[in-house]
Structure 1
């Protein structure tokens, strides 16, 4: 009867201890919004961009109808620095220019119209034959633009989108640097800025710009009230400190109460001491048979989820804190329990080959932290990876860029 009572007491203590070990707390750190148009504004030094492009441009002048289109084209260069304040609104300042080419009447002084002295023979109106000369001049143009990303404004922000179209408006200052007269005038600018994503750091760009200046910009007053410069350039842009526009979101993090774990250790030690005391009492009672009850800690830890930024396998300090708790519990638990480290990637981002590599690197990163930094025995860990997967939790692709550590 005494042995039966002792066994029931030990079973009750062990069941209670096992229940306390699996008592975990869930902590909500952020609330995610389902509104795709609502994002969090980034810091001042985030989302700057630096671009350069080249292409062709032409002058819309007084005699452009008499000059063939191919003869009016000149090379164009464009360089700029800008920043996106939200996914839909950005600003930039830049430079474009080089040379412009057109026609001018030869009854004007060449010094006043930037004429080369060359008679243009391909005039459509024969009455103008011999009256129009080719003009060329160097010019510079600095400008400031406000860009409106219509893709994000109309369709909502989506990280990793391949194509974005951004109309823009702006003001500038243009001046002629060759010959006489030296023009220097304000400009009004309209255009369309197209970008094609290559990676998180680089985009290809296609920029169409139109600039409006006064009629005397080329040195000749004619029938137009204003003159214009149109250009199309193709180039590349580097995204400086490119940061994703975070939505307000919820992330569930599993944490462990160190106070409860310490209390559990003390109760197990007390249980072991009580066991020895009961054994001695039975011996003193001259019992013929004593049942030796051995207490073992057979604790299987709850799974732990660690998430990663897009296209990254770097373990954050916050994740290391949770991994430290997890590693301590593994080392103090039963040594024959094996835990599997499973790596995943977001199927909606990247190619299958990239996601396969990324899921493997994430699992290996968690393995290295547990073994090298926290001393978990390597024989208690296995690694597997599953490449890109569909949304595993809460229909949120960010929670699929993850590693799950689970006891077998």
Structure 2
């Protein structure tokens, strides 16, 4: 009878460690049993709790290119075909749940802008003295020679874009440059609608927040053929010194939409449209009737996914079931303690044993405190174990306790697990001192991360153990 009760008690004790840990698990799927999720079930993505994947999972890199146009002052006056240029693109992204993720996006190239030289101030005027007012042509007929409003509209690099000499070879005269009050303007542009082309060479990278629209509002399906992903974020833009433009670095806003076509578990095709808004000085000119410059892009890229690409449902155990099993164990323990053995054989004669080295007697309280994966918050079901530890300390004022935290080895990396086990130990120590009034001098903490694994079952090592001194 005693052996049966003892066996049942041990069996339930092993089971309760797993249940008390509130383990988040997912079932192994049978291939072709279902399309997605757990067998014979679908899951609303937003309302479902998902198991956290490792940092190395759910990465995507995409490489491609497409078309882009600049939308600044007078740019809409140029022909569309002359404005369109090639836009290379590289992006690296990571999803932190089935719904949302972050990405770094890199692009650039040469943008074609247009200007009629009628209005606006060129950024070139405001940088240094070497190119101040086109030093090489200062004093030439028709050009300003003093600082003032005459700095407006005249571009010192027109001579690199156009042959502005007259047939007689005089060059740079009043037939080219006109005056409107104190402002200079280009006569062919204002009076005849002539345009000259700006060549803006630039580079940009963006940090974008993105979310999958169908997953947010529908069921989880990693095999969905098509997905829409809106995104938005901030960008850093640098236009380089080139053909009259100075080097300019700006911060702007970036947003767009990605259409994702699933080709296989690892490969996809991304069709993206995006727009950026930056400061008016980006293309080298400010003023006129436009206070911002814009960049529009449409690209097509091939994407490759790294690591695990799917997500598993986290299913915590029922707290009522855990409490019931804990009560069953307590009943079995009490029953075992009350059992008597009327026919026990006499004990063997005492044997004197002289140990060669002192043996350290280490005592553990029987109920460790388990934690959920990557958590240091004490679950409601675990408080009764801290309550037991506090009662023991109150009944034995001569002993002290070392609260030791651990983390499981299969989740995260050693440095992170060391900090996680520290937070767990401190949470339990704080509960003993502040909630149960245990003297802080009797409570010390220790943590071992995943260097030591007290249990053979990996998930049980998300734990805090009480060591009695």
Q: TM-score, normalised by structure 2?
A: 0.43
User: Which structure carries more relative contact order (alpha carbon 8 Å, separation 6+)?
Assistant: 2
More strand, by proportion: 1
